Amino acid sequence: MIKILARPFPFLCEPRSTALVIIDMQRDFVEPGGFGASLGNDVTRLQAIIPTVRALLTLWRQAGALIVHTRESHRPDLSDCPPAKRNRGSPSLRIGDVGPMGRVLVAGEPGNQIVEALAPRASEIVIDKPGKGAFYATGLHEMLQARSITHLVFAGVTTEVCVQTSMREANDRGYECLLVEDATESYFPEFKAATLAMIAAQGGIVGWTAPSNQVLSAFLS
């Protein structure tokens, strides 16, 4: 059992039953010309977390523990993209449109690939998810149950959209969840801060948060 110093109180877990879940570290969100930029966001601020997420990835690989990568991704025929999602707002490019990194948020396109520094290995789970949450229409819960996973450590983007949605879905399914504070980022710093605060409030109503150095030191001690 390892003990991570976290908010609102220490997070206890066994590495063999604790998966690292890296949400949507794909070019669509962190590079110019993708989905994030099409919504009017400055995507460069998300790139700063890549080394921290990589440190967690390396730690999990060294521990031989389970790693899950997700991508927000739609089938090329967009049959899994509700019109309500595609037609919302006034983006410069809509889901499925051709942009500088290929078709926006479409599986297999250059923009849909996870950034090189965090590229999944063959032994790791990669989930293509049509929604913001990692559990909706993916089979992730069944995959985790089959591997006796009870605890999830989250990283990735964006904090208040796909990360928070996935963490809430996981919490409702009975997982003990921790979000690594400096391994997640938002286009809106105030939304990130609010998300971290609301997760740990009320005695950990959604779960725990901790800085990466506490996760690393707990695993390595």
Active site residue 129: yes
In the bound state with ligand TIU, the residue whose beta carbon lies nearer, of 2 and 126, is 126
The alpha-helical segments, DSSP class H, found in the chain are 27-30, 35-38, 50-63, 83-86, 140-146, 164-172, 189-204, 212-220
Q: What are phi and psi of 184, to 5 degrees?
A: -135, 155
Q: Select which of 129, 132, 177, 192 is catalytic.
A: 129
Residue 34: CB minimum distance to ligand TIU, A: 10
Q: Give CA separation, 56 vs 33, 39, 173, 182, in Å.
A: 27, 29, 24, 11
The residue (of 129 and 151) whose beta carbon lies closer to ligand TIU is: 129
Structure tokens that stand for 54 in this block: 């990589």
Residue 162 is a catalytic residue: yes
Cβ nearer to ligand TIU, comparing 39 with 126: 39
Our answer to whether residue 172 is catalytic in this structure is: no
Interface positions with ligand TIU (CB under 6 A): 24, 29, 36, 39, 72, 132, 157-158, 161-162, 187
Environment class of residue 56 by beta-carbon count within 10 Å: exposed (0-12), middle (13-18) or buried (19+)? buried
> Per the residue annotation, which of 13, 81, 132, 162 is the catalytic one?
162
Active-site entry in 24, 28, 81, 192? 24
- CB nearer ligand TIU, residue 66 or residue 157: 157
What positions carry a catalytic annotation?
24, 129, 162
